[in-house]
Structure 1
Amino acid sequence: MAVAWLADNAARLASSSTACVAKAGGNRRLTVDARINALELAISRILLFRLGAATEEPDGVALDARCTLQTLEQLSSERLATLSRRVESLTPAHIDDCRRLLDSLGFATHTADGHVESEALCAALVRQGVADAACSEDLDVLAFGGQRLLRGFYTPADEMMLIDADIALAELGLTRESFVDLCILCGTDFSATLEKVGPITALKLIRQFGSIERVLENDPAIRPRDGFQFQVARDVFLQDVRPPFTDRAQVVPRPASSRLAGQPFDPFAPGVQHPVLQ
């Protein structure tokens, strides 16, 4: 199992490192995260070779334990400093300002309460046909049953990524329920995962056994981590969520009006005409 986890981890890090190098291009300096990934990748490849899982010793890789720990400490400190500079508390006033701005621009808004995840609401709106896709970087939208997820919508880029869940499930050979179990094994906010099981191994196990229960029943060597509450996570993802809007006409944007800026306005007041959000 250790070898399988290392292989999964090395594959993930190699893919991530390749993407980071391609994105950086030329002689641009890699980010702290990219340098940490590169170091972890080198360690994983060395361990795979020493465990006999790799036939060739990694080229140009010679790591001293003390030096490696010092490097990781330095990079972790740099990462912490970078993240600390980005921290800014989000207040209710900020949220209200955003809502009022969107209302003034003619867009329908809804604020999720603490009883339901915002990603679940977005997924429900797509399933209901009220929205064409959910714009989010959070893949939980797919686990919540959203058929289409648009990533990269909020960042300046030449391309965005559209993920169609129906196509993905067909190519993976999974049902909605087994896909949710796969997501849980890959890691979510609602449950811990299984020891030494990465995404590649998780997909193999779900394809072979169909559910988390059957995985645990048929492979006693697999051990859950502390906090592995897969049924709790499953209930969250499969819960029946009522969307705040049930018809596209309720979310069609109105023409923006400068006279609305800074003034209280109810976009759903009687008589308000809404020109469909495509």
Structure 2
Amino acid sequence: MRRKFCSELTFPSVQSLLPEFTHEQLQLLVILMAFVIVLIFESLYANNERSLKTFQQNYLTNIILFIFNSILMSLLSVYSLLTIADQYSTEGLLSRISNPVVKIVVSFMLLDLTLYFWHKANHTFSFLWMFHKVHHSDPSFNASTAFRLHFVELLLTAGVKALYIVVLGVDKAVVIISEAAITVFVIFHHMDISVPGEKWLGRIIIVPYLHKAHHSVRREEHDRNYGAVFSIWDRIFNTMIEIKPAEIGLKYVKARSFMELLLFGFVRVYP
């Protein structure tokens, strides 16, 4: 009887014990974990000395913008990227690849290439730059700069990612892995630190010193280094630059408050 009783017992799976997260919640969790780790490293090894007032103002503005964007994106999202992946993962160009490892690698590389061209488009077309310039308006360069994004740019980027998922037929698991990895990389390459072996690493991935050049006030310098993860796209398409910028941000644009940044996103100028 005891053996029979034990055999009839059912135990919940690990997956059933874990709460179900939406795509936005998963991304938020990864961002918060990565940001805390990066903030610790940056506070210990930052290249530039910053006054407490500048530190507080910069971080507070960028974090408030991040919170606003997170809430807004959650309210506006009818279909998350994971929902789209569920519907189209068997119909895209990559659906014929049976090897899961190969599919993950190819999907991730193509997503990074897509984001390279999308980033370049944000610098090329005035309508897109109108919103993207909010990110470049930060007069300093630190991990919180990664969150200095206008909500319209985030919505447009989500549309680009959704199209990428539909066309390629990307699996839900691949979307989760890719989003997490790219999020961590974007926060990483906004860190104001020197990375050991960064010159060598910079031949493969985007490291802080490469992305810092992208935040130069000089247009001929900030219209370079568009990569999100891999630097190979910038080298292939001749958009790589390796310099130490004299000044960060946009000309004639100083630190702005949260509301000023939202309105600044609708101003058609290229300072």
Judging by fraction of residues, say which structure has more helix.
2
- TM-score of the superposed pair, with normalisation by structure 2: 0.24
Pick the structure with greater CA Rg: 1
Q: Which has the higher contact order (CA 8 A, sep 6+)?
A: 2
- TM-score of the superposed pair, with normalisation by structure 1: 0.23
